Copies of this chain bind each other. A is one copy, B any other.
Amino acid sequence: MAYSPRPLPPRSLPVPATVSPALKEAIAQPLQGAMEAIKQVPAREDKQAWQDLINSYDQTSEVLFQQLRQQFPVTLTQERIAGVNVYRVTPPVISPTNGQRILVHLHGGGYALAGGELATGEAILAAHYGQIEVISIDYRRPPDYPFPAALDDALAVWRELVTIYEVSRMGLFGTSAGGGLLLALVCQLRQLNLPLPAAIAPLSPWVDLTKTGDTYFTNEYVDRTAISYGGLLAGLAQLYAGELPLNHPFISPLYNDLEGLPPTLLISGTRDLVLSDTARLQRKLRQNNGVVDLQLFEGLSHAEYLYQFDAPESAEVFGELSQFFNRHLQ
């Protein structure tokens, strides 16, 4: 049955009184034309135009990444595992309990943005706050490599890593598209009867690439980082899926069978445009008797803890991540 939409009156959204001073200042910034910019993206077939767009986004991210590198000194080692480019992130101090543990990281960026060294921003924060070694997988990306290249790369690296590390001491995490890829990988591992990680943390996960979740509507323009599904997100979804439908169970793993998954940490914010993916994922995992820990942050937009790494909210997100893996890894 088709229902009529309900009109929402125009409103005025104050900066939340309930977030840290650092986050307040960030939220108060104008959106810098971002709301207009996201409306225009190239056609899926126009690879060069997409590559230019990706490069221009990555140039902006590079500035932020260098600040993060300064602030969180770690050793970054580029390696190849199973032919895939990865970065090993080693913090100055590894806690005694973490000596034989490893976290495997899959970065976000809509499957196309923030590759190369940029991939490691979140891995650096996790390594720093968790005092643990992290391997960040720089999977192949569109426009040249749509699905299943990212999943193939993640799978190849995982197959190799489980011959080196004890799987009960391995965790897997990632934000946004990284959280979606993580979930697709775990579904793939289960299907192939390969060893699963001891625990997983898809954060602000993008697990349904179709415009279906309710917060695409309720949090549109409320979220200041992802802002709206229209334009960039829709374009990135198409770019990754290629000829496949967006609701394919390995492209939108919310539609996969989610039985028998490892203990799962979910983190999102009340302003997250993709908050519905977190809620729907939690419900589906619980309906399959999954162990799920959901941490919700006041006033936080999509993946904002990665950009506002100065804010105490970011430290708290990575503190929760660290405690979660401490509870579930041997």
Q: Which residues of A contact B (CB under 8 A)?
A: 1, 3-19, 24-25, 27-28, 31, 212-215, 217-222, 269-271, 275-276, 278-280, 282-283, 286-287, 293-299, 316, 320
Separation of A269 and B293 alpha carbons in the complex (Å) = 16
Chain B residues within an 8 Å CB radius of A6: 12-15, 31
Q: Which residues of B contact A214 (CB under 8 A)?
A: 16, 18-19, 270-271, 298-299
Contact A276 B270 (CB under 8 A): yes
Q: Which of these, B24, B276, B282, B299, contacts A295 with CB under 8 Å?
A: B282
Known contacts A13-B5, A270-B275: A213-B294 contact under CB 8 Å: no
C-alpha gap A292/B14 in the complex (Å): 29
Q: Which of B8, B24, B282 contacts A3 (CB 8 A)?
A: B24
Subset of 15 A-B contacts with CB under 8 Å: A1-B24, A4-B15, A6-B15, A7-B10, A18-B212, A18-B213, A18-B280, A214-B299, A269-B279, A279-B297, A279-B298, A283-B316, A286-B320, A293-B293, A296-B296
Residue picked from A31, A214, A283, A320, most chain B C-beta under 10 Å: A214
User: What's the least CB distance linking A18 to chain B, in Å?
Assistant: 6
Compute how far the CA of A203 lies from the CA of B299 in the bound complex, rounded to whole angstroms: 20
Say yes or no: A8 contacts B18, CB within 8 Å.
no
Contact A217 B10 (CB under 8 A): no
The docked-state distance in angstroms from the alpha carbon of A280 to that of B298 is 6
A222: B residues at CB distance < 8 A: 8, 218
Which residues of chain B have C-beta atoms less than 8 A from A282's C-beta? 295-296
Rank and list the top 4 A-B pairs by shortest CB-CB distance, nearest first: A3-B28, A16-B214, A3-B15, A5-B12
Known: A270-B215, A296-B282. A7 touches B18 (CB 8 A): no
